[in-house]
Structure 1
């Protein structure tokens, strides 16, 4: 029986390797083609015209791309700051406080992670158009796209920050906080001088994750601007390029830059989190 199982394992091994190879090719070959064509000298994004850095040079001189990139960075920075503060506070509340309806609260907190992003985007659109805009109009105020996009990004980023920080919070040694309390520290002092310093790696990781998600988000951004304003982040700018008769090569270069930035931020978040666990 053991020999038969060993023979079956050896027979399945090349099949499993082939399946793994095909899976990775299916996932990453399009990304490789995108990166390759970002170095094309052709005037068209879908045509190879030899190796050139011209598309990347145009990224630095195109005012539309510069504006879209600055909008993306502003939205990502502000939404990340807000989501990090709120997500950390939410993690502390769920893990340390005894909430009356904690089960229901946790379900609501995890919803932005579980539900399709398009559902959340449409919900935000209805909220801004049918609730917030009429409310502000009665006060003589107008609703501009930048605040709505920031609010939308904060809404889905909070949950990701909370998950990362809460996972670290569960692993903390409670005896350190109890010892600080026994030595006369107030709960607020324990939070500032013991809990938050120990949570710093997780908070940084959650912030980097939120920044990455905000930087390349499309659905929430598009619907938060009601789809018709002139406000564009870099993902919206790339989407708008598809409507042109000839797609310029800058689209490939901009997408490659976004890919590289996202990978670096994710790698940095994982590195910070790993060092925090070792510490």
Structure 2
């Protein structure tokens, strides 16, 4: 609906109802998950058995809270470590890719750009299986040839980081490239004319201009890594990130503990997004 074009009253009401229903559709499942994190019962379902904080702070079974559940806390720490590593790698490679595709012309550039985008259209579980098969083949070949066991190519955190990085780096590249395309290169040329070296001009002029995109790309990469499940499931070892740990718990039966974890994740993600928005507005 175009606001500047007069619309019949019935059309405006229908459009408003559609928008309201759309947001209810998005918010209602999250609201239900959050509400049942405070249910004083063993199952996150009706009937409501009273309000409690035990699923967050309880220290006695069966109602042990998130902050006293060591396996969940360990999984959270693993997810934060993996997400931080993936975010750093993705932003570093994304920055290099952005300069490569925006500043240079070379044969096969279009083909290379398409190859970079391919991980975005490949299902995560297929990507995970492919990486697992390839890495296992290389590790087995190294063992057969030289009796060298390359643990980084076996299921575990290094392989999880590489697997997530394989497609999240593409997202970081697109975010940074969009900002770099708006940069006025005459500013770099002015710095060069004043005696600055090329690297100095990029470091003091271009990188500060890209700072909002770099921060945004890092936040997006962190969140995408933290919530990733399909690719991680194929590559995980004994140290399970939070999504895998929650999946294993869910197979045993859902409890409000998982609702409490989900609520904390929603609040954390919202706070991180809010900080990023405020930072970009200040810039």
Query: What is the TM-score when the length of structure 2 is the normalising length?
Result: 0.87
Q: How far apart are residue 135 of structure 1 and its match?
A: 4.0
Q: How far apart are residue 127 of structure 1 and its match?
A: 2.4
2:217 pairs with one of 206, 220, 223: 206
Residues 37-116 of structure 1 aligned to structure 2 (within 5 Å): 37-47=36-46, 48-57=48-57, 58-116=65-123
Residues 1-279 of structure 1 aligned to structure 2 (within 5 Å): 6=6, 9-47=8-46, 48-57=48-57, 58-129=65-136, 131-138=137-144, 139-142=148-151, 143-225=154-236, 229-244=237-252, 246-276=253-283
Q: How far apart are residue 28 of structure 1 and its match?
A: 1.7
Partner SS, residue 238 of structure 2? coil
Gaps of 5+ in 1: none
Rounded Cα–Cα distance in structure 1 between residues aligned with 2:150 and 2:75: 25
RMSD of aligned residue pairs (Cα, Å): 1.9
- The verdict on how the C-alpha distance between 1:124 and 1:252 changes in structure 2, with shifts beyond 3 A counting, is same
Rounded Cα–Cα distance in structure 2 between residues aligned with 1:265 and 1:167: 21
- The verdict on how the C-alpha distance between 1:205 and 1:65 changes in structure 2, with shifts beyond 3 A counting, is same
Query: What is the TM-score when the length of structure 1 is the normalising length?
Result: 0.88
- The verdict on how the C-alpha distance between 1:41 and 1:183 changes in structure 2, with shifts beyond 3 A counting, is same
Rounded Cα–Cα distance in structure 2 between residues aligned with 1:44 and 1:231: 27
Partner SS, residue 8 of structure 2? helix
Q: How far apart are residue 95 of structure 1 and its match?
A: 0.8
- Matched residue, 2:60: none
Contact 2:132 2:155 in 1 (8 A): no
- The verdict on how the C-alpha distance between 1:34 and 1:76 changes in structure 2, with shifts beyond 3 A counting, is same
Q: How far apart are residue 175 of structure 1 and its match?
A: 1.1
Q: What is the CA deviation profile of residues 210-243 of structure 1, one whole-angstrom value per residue up to 9, with x for unaligned ones?
A: 0111111111111122xxx433111111111121
Q: What is the CA deviation profile of residues 44-67 of structure 1, one whole-angstrom value per residue up to 9, with x for unaligned ones?
A: 233432111111111111111111
More displaced 10-residue stretch of structure 1: 263-272 or 248-257:
263-272
Contact 2:139 2:149 in 1 (8 A): no
